Amino acid sequence: MTTFTELGLSAPLLKALATENYETPTPIQQQSITPLLEGRDLVGIAQTGTGKTAAFALPILQRLDQDRRETPRRSCRALILSPTRELAGQIAENIRIYGRHMKLTSAVVYGGVSINNQMRALANGVDILVATPGRLLDLIGQKAFRIDCVEIFVLDEADQMLDMGFIHTIRKLVAMMSVKRQTILFSATMPQEIAELSKKFLRDPVHVAVTPVATTAERVEQKIIFVDTARKPELLLRLLKDDPSINKALVFSRTKHGADKVVKRLVASGITAAAIHGNKSQNARERALFDFKSGHCRLLVATDIAARGIDIDAVSHVINYDLPNIPESYVHRIGRTARAGADGIAISFCDREERAFLLDIERTTRQKIPVMESPLGAVPEVLPALPHDERRSQPNRNGKPGGQRHSAGRPPQKKPNGPKGSGPRRDERSASEPRSERPQGQRPGAGAPKSANANSKGRPTAWFKR
């Protein structure tokens, strides 16, 4: 069995790891730490929860500690870019923990908080900076920071950067750096644009991968419940009432407005819950995370982008209140449970308009999700495959009827059904930072009368298929 000592880590790092009871490196750490200590560029394919933060943080800390030098004012030696505020904060906290016995300085900057305080914190320079792309570009634009002295550059969650529209910002930032640097890129998936980016930014990189793309965790028990859209709130409340084992659950909503509605319904029913999404202030997001981690809040309702990279232990259940329209998002979602060798349960609600999403998920993951009997009553009869003409009218993975596909992850160019003002407020993100949340497609037929799912005799129409 490989140990951290065998990987060549220094005594201060080993002491910090021992304090945290980390004894055995994960597969991504075993494959990454040695080449990174040697100064090699690296491309890593790893999903959240595999230990990738330590895989790049430990070598960075050791290299900077062993090659001590003065950091220029308003600059840094190592730069780590993260797509979200929450993930940036977690990375910075891990660096503080691992480097507690080293005299290295670090800082974290992101939008949604005062830029003046961040300017003051960076004035004398820091060894390691964790940043979101938009806020970093703002600091550079105001002449408060420079990155031409960066020796080590980490691009974390690269595929999420692509989905959030950060790629052009990243290109600008990389152009400002010295070509004499070590570059590390981590991504859960490897779309074509990210592959091309890695070829341009990295020099003879080492490639490591630990989890095949779109492979679900083996220890997650998956279930699907068919339900009419209007009865989803009732179904969620019934599950929480009937199953006390759901004591710490992540609930995923497709939209920010939907997440707020779910929380409002839960709180009104006496269940502690909080929402986290791009419309929330940074203080509200941090408070919701703290309450959920500490056990003061039973449910955390989140959108995909807001939850990306959040590492929370002991999550008993993941509940997909809305099925995602991108299969890889389903994999990321259910991976939030069953961590550190524990088991977990993922329960997904599927309404009429989400059938195509379910088929896409099962096709991508190469597995059928077992049907769970609904506590609200009988499940509608299963249908045979849709006729060809009807299938074309069903929503595809981007929320559009067949034949009207959009680029992966981009919503249809259609005014959303949500209320006016539901998008991020300008003052909650940096001026040049793209929207931190994007609606992932509206379900066709939303708002249809309830009678649409019943025949003339009042019995449920058999509209679900497998």
Instruction: Locate the domains of the chain by residue range.
Output: 11-209, 220-401+436-465
Q: What pTM did the predictor assign?
A: 0.61
Q: At residue 336, does pLDDT exceed 90?
A: no
Q: Is 228 left (phi over 0), alpha (psi -120 to 50) or beta?
A: beta
Residues forming a β-bridge with 251: 301, 319
Q: Model confidence over 188-214: pLDDT tens digits?
A: 878 888 888 889 999 999 999 885 544
- The class (CATH top level) of 220-401+436-465 is alpha beta
Question: What is the residue-averaged pLDDT of the chain?
Answer: 80
Write out pLDDT tens, residues 105-161.
999 999 988 899 999 999 999 999 999 999 999 999 999 999 999 999 999 999 888
Answer yes or no: are the C-beta atoms of 442 and 432 closer than 8 Å: no
Q: Hey, what CATH class is 11-209 in? A: alpha beta
Buried b (16+ CB within 10 A) or exposed e, 304-333: bbbbbbbbbeebbbbbbbbbbbbbbbbbbb
How confident is residue 339, by pLDDT bands cut at 50, 70 and 90? Answer: low
**pLDDT attached to residue 441:** 42
Do 11-209 and 220-401+436-465 fold alike per CATH?
yes
- pLDDT at residue 100, as a whole number: 95
User: What's the Rg (C-alpha) of the chain?
Assistant: 23
Burial class (CB in 10 A: 0-12, 13-18, 19+), 336: buried
Contact 80, 109 (CB under 8 A): no
434 touches 165 (CB < 8 A): yes
pLDDT tens for each residue of 61-88: 999 999 998 899 999 999 999 998 888 9
